Amino acid sequence: MEFRFSNRLNKLPPYLFLEIDAARRKAIKEGRAIIDLGVGDPDEGSPKEVVETLCKAVQDSRNLHYPLDQGIPALRNRIAAWYKDRFGVTLEPAKEVLVLIGSKEGIAHTPLAFINPGDTSLVPDPCYPPYKGGTILAGGNIYPMPLLEENNFLPDLNKIKNNVLKGSKILYISYPNNPTSAVCEKGFFEDVVIFAKRHDLIVVHDAAYSEIAFDGYRPPSFLKVDGAKDVGVEFHSVSKTCNMTGWRLGFVCGNERVVSGIAKVKSNIDSGVFTVIQLAGISALDIAERHSQGMNQVYQGRRDVLVDGLNAMGWTTRKPRATFYVWTRIPRGYKSSVEFAAMVLKKAGIVITPGIGFGESGEGYVRMALTISTERIEEAVDRLRKIL
């Protein structure tokens, strides 16, 4: 018997990171010594204070029941306090904060709350794939906003035509940006607020990389801009900030109506974040500033080794000011980012991410993650030097 996928599921492109992982596993199975610069998964381990909190909390039977859908009050209060300390933004914990099973699920669930079939999401191109996937699963349409190097990888909102804007409901942005590692200043967020108010758009700002920054740069919060809470929300994750990718803990803050819509979707799909993980999240936010400072020094050193090594070979790669990714053009002579990434895996045993996997405007680029040791990055540079 053949069971047919739904039309919405058939519209979804293959998930990029699953394909990359499959290629990595295949190469390892063949006995090859692989260096993985593909998926950004921190290698340093979760902070010991967080692990200790989890170990203690899991032994208390009171923490083993169904969690509250919106998140335990203690964590929501801690998130609000962190926002105040870090960004100078005041939040109402009971109404403007929602705990998530990682920011990814909240981002992907947002369209289910606000997109009707035929509505449009304005999505940066290239982008983190769930912006598209969540919209498609909600029955919506995707309108790509090219992120071009000559515009510092910022979308040109003025180029979006009025007939597109009339049917649009959500505007996705992300700074520091994945995959381009671009950053923006407060003025861009101010323009976004004005634009969203003019066209009745919900702004979804993915700020998962706000705490990974270099050379003295401190990424701002979208919610710090006047009027931002009138139009949108901001997503964060402890995954990147505190090396906790596998723990699956994030949060969304901002506009009360948008937060409540996401919460309603979630209450019909999941039962919330395991209370033990939430308690560990409080510890994570307690040490987030100190931990990220240490990790940023590590990532900055790795960044310099990789970028300096590439440029010494004749590449023209800029040093990112934030995120743990390096986004760079492929060398001349290669037809596509997929072709180049496949060649690098075959000849050098290095996994890198082809830019086309993030969207059409990503063609001609590749993304490399800094989530391996400096020694392994040095080896990767040496391998690339030998094959190029």
Task: Put the strands of the sheet holding 120-125 in their side by side order.
Answer: 97-100, 250-254, 232-237, 202-206, 168-173, 120-125, 141-146
> Considering the domain boundaries, does residue 1 fall inside one?
no
Of 263, 287, 311, the residue that ends a domain is: 287
Instruction: Verify that 267 and 337 share a domain, yes or no.
Output: no
Instruction: Verify that 342 and 376 share a domain, yes or no.
Output: yes
Q: What radius of gyration do the chain's Cα atoms show?
A: 21
Instruction: Verify that 39 and 97 share a domain, yes or no.
Output: no
Instruction: Verify that 183 and 144 share a domain, yes or no.
Output: yes
Q: HSE (CB half, 13 Å, CA atoms) of 73?
A: 1
pLDDT score of 319: 98
Of 233, 260, 287, the residue that ends a domain is: 287
Residue whose tokens read 């931990």: 291
What CATH number is given to the structural domain containing 234?
3.40.640.10
Instruction: Verify that 20 and 64 share a domain, yes or no.
Output: no
pLDDT score of 223: 98
The domain total for the chain is 2
Instruction: Verify that 295 and 317 share a domain, yes or no.
Output: yes
Instruction: Verify that 216 and 253 share a domain, yes or no.
Output: yes
> Considering the domain boundaries, does residue 2 fall inside one?
no
- The verdict on pTM exceeding 0.85 is yes
pLDDT score of 326: 98
What CATH number is given to the structural domain containing 336?
3.90.1150.10
Domain of residue 151: give its range. 48-287
Of 287, 322, 347, the residue that ends a domain is: 287
pLDDT score of 286: 96
CA angle, residues 8, 9, 12, in degrees to nearest 5 = 95
pLDDT score of 17: 65
> Considering the domain boundaries, does residue 197 fall inside one?
yes
DSSP string covering 10-64, please? HHSPPPHHHHHHHHHHHHHHTT---EE-SS---SS---HHHHHHHHHHTT-GGGS
Residue whose tokens read 């063949």: 30
Round to whole Å and give the CA distance between 79 and 218: 19
**Cα 19 to the center of its chain, rounded Å:** 18
DSSP SS3 for 123: strand
The rounded average pLDDT for each run of 10 residues, N- to C-terminus, in the chain (388 residues) is 88 73 76 87 92 96 90 97 98 98 96 97 96 96 98 97 97 98 97 98 98 96 98 95 94 98 95 96 96 96 98 96 98 91 92 94 97 97 94
Instruction: Verify that 40 and 69 share a domain, yes or no.
Output: no
Which of 331, 325, 377 lies closest to 350 in space, CA to CA? 377
Instruction: Verify that 100 and 40 share a domain, yes or no.
Output: no
